[in-house]
């Protein structure tokens, strides 16, 4: 397979303080009976019953396994000079692998500290018809960690913090940095398989979503409900007055400011086409967007037909944001259901989607960029 590269760095998570960095992991001391590895937690307290394994670099053959005693010491009938720099050390604690470490064998340190394990979901943006073209599994290069495919995704449930290459066979797909305790999620691009449509990136500076270039629509609307009100945009500048220059990557992003007051909410929405139009989005595998905010919010895809005045059946997802930019992913099958609010399974309305909306019921600002539909490269 042709080798190709993509760099994915997760801006959503930050490294812990320097003493918690997995690169600081030490390894061993040599005893008359072989090698003794002391396993400790982040507070340098011994971790009894930690499972410690030595792997050969290159082949990843297991050189030895041991369980730490009550003092956190795992012993091997091996000598450090026979391993040199040709081995990895893995340590795991907890039935659910909640604490982990993975590092090169190093005789210069006497301890190997464990930190909260991370998890990683790798999305392909593949439509169901293309699943057969995907690898059965992915791996983190030069580690024993693999993930089998489920639909168009791969999930590494418990892996150590660190920097890893995602590979399959001789193909390198991405380089990821996993922070201590992080729950990470990324898309890898596979030629002729990955499908995505950039629904809105705000870079053109107008009030129309990008689908308007294909199907005419009336663009974005912003609506306060109850005692809530928009501060930006306002009646003077309109929707485009809420578009700010993006000093990170160029282009623009949407920057909303509002006063929710004691009751009510604010919303922005856009029809995918004309008001009576609807579109088949049944191949959608995820919605992703970059967000910065002091509030939680809701994202919906709504049926084109009203069930009450200005009310539509809708698939609804809740988003959690903070004051740093994060990429958030919403998946079909993970929507919130409430019959009294006409919140339904996405699959119930997927072939007749007419509206995309965001609802905000708290906080004071919401900034959005790069709204992308995965699994579709065009909307029928």
> Where does residue 374 rank: exposed (0-12), middle (13-18), buried (19+ CB within 10 A)?
buried
Q: What is the pLDDT of residue 169?
A: 85
Q: Which of 20-34, 78-92, 97-111 has the lowest mean pLDDT?
A: 20-34
CATH number at residue 63: 2.60.40.1120
CATH number at residue 318: 2.60.120.430
Q: How confident is the model at residue 33 (pLDDT cuts 50, 70, 90)?
A: low
**pLDDT tens digits, one per residue of 311-358:** 999 999 999 999 999 999 999 999 999 988 899 999 999 999 999 999
Q: 228: how many CB neighbours lie within 10 A of its CB?
A: 19
Asked whether 266 and 260 are in contact (CB, 8 A), the reply is yes
Answer yes or no: is 322 within a domain: yes
Answer yes or no: is 8 within a domain: no
Phi, psi of 208 (to 5 degrees): -105, 140
- Average of per-residue pLDDT across 295-312: 93
Residues in CB range of 249: below 8 A, 6 or more apart:
none
- Average of per-residue pLDDT across 16-45: 62
On the question of pLDDT at 18 being above 50, the answer is no
72 and 215 in a single domain? The answer is no
172 and 206 in a single domain? The answer is no
- Average of per-residue pLDDT across 285-303: 95
> Where does residue 22 rank: exposed (0-12), middle (13-18), buried (19+ CB within 10 A)?
buried
On the question of pLDDT at 12 being above 60, the answer is no
Give whole-number Cα distances, 123 to 72, 113, 372, in Å. Answer: 38, 31, 13
Classified as helix, coil or strand, 22 is: helix
Report d(CA 352, CA 301) in Å as an integer: 10
pTM of the complete model: 0.78
Answer yes or no: is 7 within a domain: no
Give whole-number Cα distances, 260 to 223, 225, 227, 254, in Å. Answer: 12, 9, 7, 18
Q: What DSSP letter does each residue of 131-159 carry, written as one string?
A: GGGS-SEEEETTSS-EEEEETTEEEEEEE
135 and 220 in a single domain? The answer is no
Answer yes or no: is 280 within a domain: yes
Q: What is the pLDDT of residue 328?
A: 93
73 and 144 in a single domain? The answer is no
Phi, psi of 169 (to 5 degrees): 60, -130
Answer yes or no: is 157 within a domain: yes
Answer yes or no: is 66 within a domain: yes
Report d(CA 254, CA 235) in Å as an integer: 16
**First-to-last C-alpha distance (Å) of the chain:** 32
Report d(CA 55, CA 160) in Å as an integer: 15
**pLDDT tens digits, one per residue of 150-207:** 999 999 999 999 999 999 988 899 999 999 999 999 999 998 899 999 999 999 999 9
39 and 158 in a single domain? The answer is no
248 and 173 in a single domain? The answer is no
Q: Which is more confident, 18 or 341?
A: 341
219 and 281 in a single domain? The answer is yes
Answer yes or no: is 232 within a domain: yes
Q: Which two tokens stand for residue 59?
A: 């082949």
Among 128, 162, 187, which residue terminates a domain? 187
Asked whether 193 and 126 are in contact (CB, 8 A), the reply is yes
The alpha helices in the chain, defined as continuous H runs, are 80-83, 346-349
Beta partners for residue 306, in sequence order: 312
Q: How confident is the model at residue 99 (pLDDT cuts 50, 70, 90)?
A: very high
Among 115, 139, 160, which residue terminates a domain? 115
On the question of pLDDT at 8 being above 60, the answer is no
Q: Give the count of domains, the chain.
A: 3
> Where does residue 54 rank: exposed (0-12), middle (13-18), buried (19+ CB within 10 A)?
buried
Asked whether 335 and 343 are in contact (CB, 8 A), the reply is yes
- Average of per-residue pLDDT across 61-73: 94
218 and 334 in a single domain? The answer is yes
Report d(CA 362, CA 9) in Å as an integer: 30
Asked whether 136 and 296 are in contact (CB, 8 A), the reply is no
Average pLDDT, the chain: 87
Q: What is the pLDDT of residue 26?
A: 44
Report d(CA 24, CA 176) in Å as an integer: 19
317 and 306 in a single domain? The answer is yes
Residues in CB range of 309: below 8 A, 6 or more apart:
none
Q: How confident is the model at residue 250 (pLDDT cuts 50, 70, 90)?
A: confident
On the question of pLDDT at 15 being above 70, the answer is no
CATH number at residue 124: 2.60.40
On the question of pLDDT at 83 being above 90, the answer is no
Q: What is the pLDDT of residue 261?
A: 83
**Best CA proximity match to 127, nearest among 211, 183, 197, 212:** 197
- Average of per-residue pLDDT across 95-103: 92
Among 137, 163, 187, which residue terminates a domain? 187
**Best CA proximity match to 178, nearest among 215, 145, 226, 205:** 145
Residues in CB range of 85: below 8 A, 6 or more apart:
57, 104, 105, 106
248 and 277 in a single domain? The answer is yes
110 and 124 in a single domain? The answer is no
Answer yes or no: is 4 within a domain: no
Phi, psi of 369 (to 5 degrees): -150, 155
Q: 351: how many CB neighbours lie within 10 A of its CB?
A: 13
Domain of residue 90: give its range: 18-115
Q: What is the pLDDT of residue 5?
A: 33
Q: What is the pLDDT of residue 248?
A: 77
100 and 131 in a single domain? The answer is no
- Average of per-residue pLDDT across 47-55: 95
Asked whether 9 and 187 are in contact (CB, 8 A), the reply is no
Q: Which is more confident, 8 or 237?
A: 237
Q: What is the pLDDT of residue 228?
A: 94
């Amino acid at each position: 397979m042709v080798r190709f590269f993509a760099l994915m760095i997760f801006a959503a998570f930050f490294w812990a303080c320097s003493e918690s960095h997995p690169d600081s992991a030490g390894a061993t001391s040599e005893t008359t009976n072989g090698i003794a590895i002391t396993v400790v937690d982040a507070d340098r307290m011994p971790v009894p019953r930690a499972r410690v394994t030595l792997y050969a670099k290159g082949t990843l053959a297991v050189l030895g396994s041991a369980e730490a005693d009550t003092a956190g010491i795992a012993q091997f009938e091996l000598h450090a000079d026979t391993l040199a720099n040709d081995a990895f050390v893995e340590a795991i604690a907890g039935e659910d692998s909640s604490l982990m470490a993975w590092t090169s064998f190093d005789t210069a340190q006497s301890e190997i500290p464990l930190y909260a394990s991370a998890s990683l979901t790798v999305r392909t943006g593949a439509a169901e018809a293309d699943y057969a073209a995907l690898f059965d599994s992915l791996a983190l290069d030069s580690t024993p960690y693999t993930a089998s495919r489920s639909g168009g995704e791969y999930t590494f449930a418990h892996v150590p913090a660190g920097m890893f290459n995602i590979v399959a066979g001789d193909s390198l797909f991405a380089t990821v940095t996993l922070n201590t305790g992080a729950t990470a999620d990324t898309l890898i691009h596979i030629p002729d398989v990955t499908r995505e449509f950039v629904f809105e990136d705000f870079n053109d500076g107008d009030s129309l979503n990008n689908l308007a270039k294909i199907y005419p629509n009336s663009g974005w609307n912003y609506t306060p409900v109850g005692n809530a009100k928009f501060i930006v945009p306002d009646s003077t500048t309109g929707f485009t007055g809420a578009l700010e220059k993006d000093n990170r990557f160029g282009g623009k992003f949407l920057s909303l400011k509002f006063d929710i007051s004691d009751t009510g909410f604010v919303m922005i929405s856009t029809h995918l086409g004309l008001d009576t139009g609807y579109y088949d989005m049944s191949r959608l595998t995820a919605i992703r967007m970059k967000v910065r905010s002091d509030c939680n919010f809701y994202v919906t895809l709504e049926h084109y037909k009203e069930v009450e005045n200005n009310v539509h059946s809708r698939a609804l997802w809740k988003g959690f944001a903070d004051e740093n930019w994060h990429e958030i992913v919403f998946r079909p099958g993970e929507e919130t259901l409430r019959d009294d609010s006409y919140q339904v399974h996405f699959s119930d309305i997927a072939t007749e989607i007419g509206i995309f909306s965001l609802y905000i019921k708290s906080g004071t600002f919401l900034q959005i960029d790069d709204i992308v539909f995965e699994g579709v490269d065009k909307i029928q």
